[in-house]
Amino acid sequence: MITHETRGDLAVWPRSARPATDGDVLLGGVSLAELARHHGTPTYVLDEGEVRHRARAYREAFPDADVYYAAKAYLCRGVAHWLRQEGLGLDVCSAGELELAVVSGFPPERMLLHGNAKSPEDLRAALRLGVGRIVIDNGAEVARLASRVSAGDRQKVLVRIVPGITAGGHEKVRTGTEEQHFGLSLVDGSAQHVIGRVLAQPNLELVGLHWHLGSQITDVKPYLTAVRRTVGLLARLRDQYGAVLPELNIGGGHGVAYRTGDTALDVPELGRRVRAELAESCAATGLPVPRLAVEPGRAVIGPAGVVLYRVLSVKRATAHTFVAVDGGMSDNPRPALYGVRYEPRLVGRGSTAERRATTVVGRHCEAGDVLVRDAPLPADVHPGDLLAMPVAGAYHLSMAASYNLVGRPPVVAVAEGRSRLQVRRESLSDLRNRDIGL
Ligand SMILES: Cc1ncc(COP(=O)(O)O)c(C=O)c1O
Ligand SMILES: N[C@@H](CCCC[NH3+])C(=O)O
């Protein structure tokens, strides 16, 4: 049987990926070369079966917990629909994400709103639509939120704390330390202070604490340390305010493999060890075990996505071969932002040419628009060829821009031999129409 681990050079691709004739790859039973011909390039392909499989794996790893998918990784109506069917909740961080999910039929009570700088519009939308929980990030938000809750209502809230832990794949995505701007510090007492103010608001119901250590974390230990520290705080809150909080949300951040041989976080192990640590620490302090919640984004959607690019030019410089494709930092800013590495593959044509270190660059007007440095690609890659990059489902399109007025790519879902356009390509008229003239 072909397993995820033994699929050789398709190791980081969705489980459904199969090599096909003429260098093609089938994803969800659909030919990538055919999708590129039909939809043009760049195109993002999402494997529905992989997303559903990953969502189910979370529910198994965290039984008796709430699994909120972090919409910031990528959201469209189709994805919201799949995840609702799989029983997940949704973590949103703007009125935009919230409204899109509600339009897709996602129950607002299964959503949670985040943000270190929630706008009045975000708060209004959350209260109007009846979002289940709002995560308070700072002191200024307490009165701002409380004053908007209708008389007689009680909004469930959590307070985001900083557990003081360094974890995450890049300094720009580490949010568990004191040196960043999300959440409230345990060290300077601001967490306890703001919690006291929340408890004093009759129309806010404090149901728990929240933290999010960072993103692309591959080790469970930081989560265990954070759980221990949080239980310490829970005990202090009980002693100081008599408050016993029934929920603990430990955020997301679970790392995935971008290239063959990369380490991914072991989600079942995370589930087992976090639950054990929580039970033990609570027993030691005489607290009831709070209900857990997790918020994975990347680990649900990242490995389910593949992006297809067409090669437009090949340039041989002294030290490099540059292969330029028709997308770039506008649809995938991650290499430029975090220096991350991908594993591109020639698809739609077989090649026996030797492999050569090749730098895949984008189409934008910056020397920094490098998608992959020194990827081992066949030496005969030429204009017209198709390149596919796996693990493209998270933080590509959700962070995409229209730099150089290049429209954002479409999203096509594949499953059981069929494909469906979920989001169309951003057209030149979409871009033009926002400009209302002189
Ligand atoms: C509060 C919160 N929850 C969940 C996530 C999801 O993170 P990831 O996609 O790394 O699982 C993020 C982003 O890092 C976040 O800021
Ligand atoms: N955008 C980051 C992850 C940030 C997670 C959001 N809190 C990435 O691509 O790795």
Q: Can you tell me the ipTM of this complex? A: 0.98
Domain 8-47+302-433 has CATH 2.30.30.140: no
Active site residue 76: no
Ligand 1 centroid, distance to 169 Cα (angstroms): 12
Question: Residue 438 — pLDDT band, cuts 50, 70, 90?
Answer: confident
Cβ(114) to ligand 2 under 6 A? no
Which pLDDT belongs to residue 6?
52
Residues 6+ apart with CB under 8 A from 70: 91, 252, 295, 296, 297, 298
Query: pLDDT tens, 176-199?
Result: 999 889 999 999 999 999 999 999
Taking 50 as the threshold, does the pLDDT of residue 14 lie above it?
yes
Q: Is the Cα torsion angle 326, 332, 334, 336 positive or negative in sign?
A: positive
Contact 47, 53 (CB under 8 A): no
Query: pLDDT tens, 114-168?
Result: 999 999 999 999 999 999 999 999 999 999 999 999 999 999 999 999 999 999 9
Ramachandran region, residue 189 (left: φ > 0; alpha: ψ -120 to 50; beta: rest): left
What's at 224, amino acid-wise? L
Cβ(70) to ligand 2 under 6 A? no
Ligand 2 centroid, distance to 42 Cα (angstroms): 22
Distance CA 209, CA 191 (A): 10
Q: Of 212, 215, 205, 253, whose CA–CA distance to 230 is shortest?
A: 212
Q: For the chain, what are the domain ranges? A: 8-47+302-433, 48-301
Mean per-residue pLDDT of the chain? 96
Cβ(395) to ligand 2 under 6 A? yes
Mutating to test ligand 2, I would choose from 92, 215, 250 the residue with most ligand atoms within 8 A of its C-beta, which is 215
- Phi/psi for 391 (5° steps) reads 60, 45
Ligand 1 centroid, distance to 97 Cα (angstroms): 14
Distance CA 434, CA 432 (A): 6
CATH class of the domain comprising 48-301: alpha beta
Mean pLDDT on 371-381: 97
Distance CA 372, CA 313 (A): 15
Cβ(74) to ligand 2 under 6 A? no
Contact 330, 406 (CB under 8 A): yes
Mean pLDDT on 254-272: 97
Alpha helix positions (H), 147-244: 190-199, 221-241
Q: Work out the number of other CB atoms within 10 angstroms of the CB of residue 210.
A: 25
Task: Please name which ligand lies nearest the alpha carbon of 253.
Answer: 1
- Which amino acid residue places its CA nearest to atom 4 of ligand 2? 173
Contact 348, 382 (CB under 8 A): no
Which pLDDT belongs to residue 1?
38
Question: Residue 321 — pLDDT band, cuts 50, 70, 90?
Answer: very high
What residues form DSSP beta bridges with 310?
386
